[in-house]
């Protein structure tokens, strides 16, 4: 008997396209939820304690999804235009890259981000110097002094763990 050949499931091309659409749908959902979260925080519908971890998680998920769809979406703006997303709060948060509680922290002044970067850089430089087996005092002292100076810029740093050890070196 002549049987009509049946398809044995979706083709590889269709499977790839379906997988890509699934990734794009997930990215779409993350952007929409991030916009709702931003609006809820601005309206005081959620607390800062609820907002910060949720926003950080969504930003992390966004970055992961962006890496997965980078071939089909060159920028978030193009993605939003292509899929007619009107989510300005989410776009701003994505561009800033941190929750509003970090961006507008009342304890942190405008120089705090710069100080954090410089102190981190000094710490890495000091660790690299030790890894290179440079142990002479004249080699370590200037680097350690910059590290301690950067460390003391922060409010309350005198009580921080490890400060006394660094100063003692």
**pLDDT tens by residue, 148-167:** 777 777 666 666 666 666 66
Burial class (CB in 10 A: 0-12, 13-18, 19+), 56: middle
- pLDDT tens readout for residues 129-146: 888 888 787 777 778 777
> 100 vs 34, which has greater pLDDT?
34
Average pLDDT over residues 66-94: 90
Tell me the C-alpha distance between 130 and 139, whole Å: 10
Q: Examine the pLDDT at 4 and tell me if it is beyond 70.
A: no
For a pLDDT cut of 90, what percent of the chain falls above it?
25
pTM of the model: 0.55
Average pLDDT over residues 33-43: 95
Under 8 Å CB-to-CB from 58, ≥6 apart: which residues?
30, 33, 34, 37
């Amino acid at each position: 008997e002549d049987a009509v050949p049946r398809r044995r499931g979706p083709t590889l091309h269709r499977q790839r396209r379906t997988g890509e659409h699934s990734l794009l749908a997930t990215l779409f959902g993350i952007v929409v939820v991030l916009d709702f979260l931003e609006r809820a925080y601005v309206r005081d519908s959620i607390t800062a304690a609820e907002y910060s971890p949720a926003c950080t998680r969504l930003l992390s998920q966004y970055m992961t999804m962006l890496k997965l769809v980078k071939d089909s979406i060159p920028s978030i703006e193009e993605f939003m235009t292509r899929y007619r997303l009107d989510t300005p709060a989410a776009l701003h948060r994505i561009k800033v890259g941190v929750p509003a509680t970090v961006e507008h922290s009342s304890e942190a002044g405008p120089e705090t981000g710069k100080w954090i970067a410089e102190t981190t850089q000094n710490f890495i430089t000091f660790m690299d110097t030790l890894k290179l087996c440079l142990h002479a005092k004249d080699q370590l002292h200037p680097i350690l002094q910059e590290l301690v100076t950067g460390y003391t810029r922060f409010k309350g740093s005198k009580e921080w763990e490890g400060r006394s050890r660094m100063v003692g070196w």
